[in-house]
Structure 1
Amino acid sequence: MLELTVNGNRTQVPEHVKTISDVKQHFHIENQAMIVEHNGEILDKSAHTEQEVADGDKVELVQFVGGG
Structure 2
Amino acid sequence: MPAGETGFDDVTFDLISVQYHSLKAGHDYGQYVRDARNAGLDDVASFFEDVMAQDSERAKRCHELLAKLQKS
Q: TM-score higher than 0.5 here? A: no
Task: Answer 1 or 2: which has greater strand percent.
Answer: 1
The structure, 1 or 2, with the larger RCO (C-alpha pairs under 8 Å, 6+ apart) is 1
- Whichever of the two has the greater Rg, that structure is 2
Q: TM bucket by the smaller chain? A: under 0.3
